[in-house]
Amino acid sequence: MKKIGKYALQVQTDLSFEETIMKVTNLLKEQGFGILAEIDFKSVLKNKLDVDWKPYKILGACNPNFAYKSLQAELHVGVFLPCNIVIWDEGDHRVVAAMEPEIMGDIINNPTIKDTAHQVSDLIKNVLVKL
């Protein structure tokens, strides 16, 4: 797993694009996350700008227990929700990148947010490592 600055975590896989999406979704489910939104940027860019782009999807993942706990501690934390997982095709491999949840704890001065963000980060890292 590779860390991209302080804001993202990344891995690569040789699985196909669709297999990667399915595996990431299943691994997230094992960690208590559901997918609230799925954005197909390839289609969006084609439809809105008539631009051809590589397969690129954003999965909006949410663990309801951690989201609820975070919202109880700080309503503004919603600007970071859901946790985004991005999958794109690089031809010979796929890249899976996730927002580093700990940035929430770095930005919001609240011990509950910091603790929750650390726990969510561990879960996201488990998903990426298993991929």
- Binned at pLDDT 50, 70 and 90, residue 49 comes out as very high
Closest Cα to residue 101, out of 85, 74, 2, 53? 85
In CATH, which superfamily holds the domain spanning 2-130? TT1751-like domain (3.30.310.70)
Whole-prediction pTM value?
0.93
So where are the chain's domains? Answer: 2-130
Query: For residue range 14-36, what is the model confidence (pLDDT) as tens digits?
Result: 999 999 999 999 999 999 999 99
Alpha-carbon gap, residue 40 to 4, rounded angstroms? 22
Query: For residue range 72-98, what is the model confidence (pLDDT) as tens digits?
Result: 999 999 999 999 999 999 999 999 999
If you average pLDDT over residues 27-55, what whole number do you get?
97
The residue to which tokens 């879960």 are assigned: 123
**Sign of the C-alpha dihedral computed for residues 62, 80, 114 and 69 taken in this order:** negative
DSSP string for 68-98? HHHHHH-GGGGGGPSEEEEEEE-SSSEEEEE
Closest Cα to residue 90, out of 58, 57, 54, 59? 54
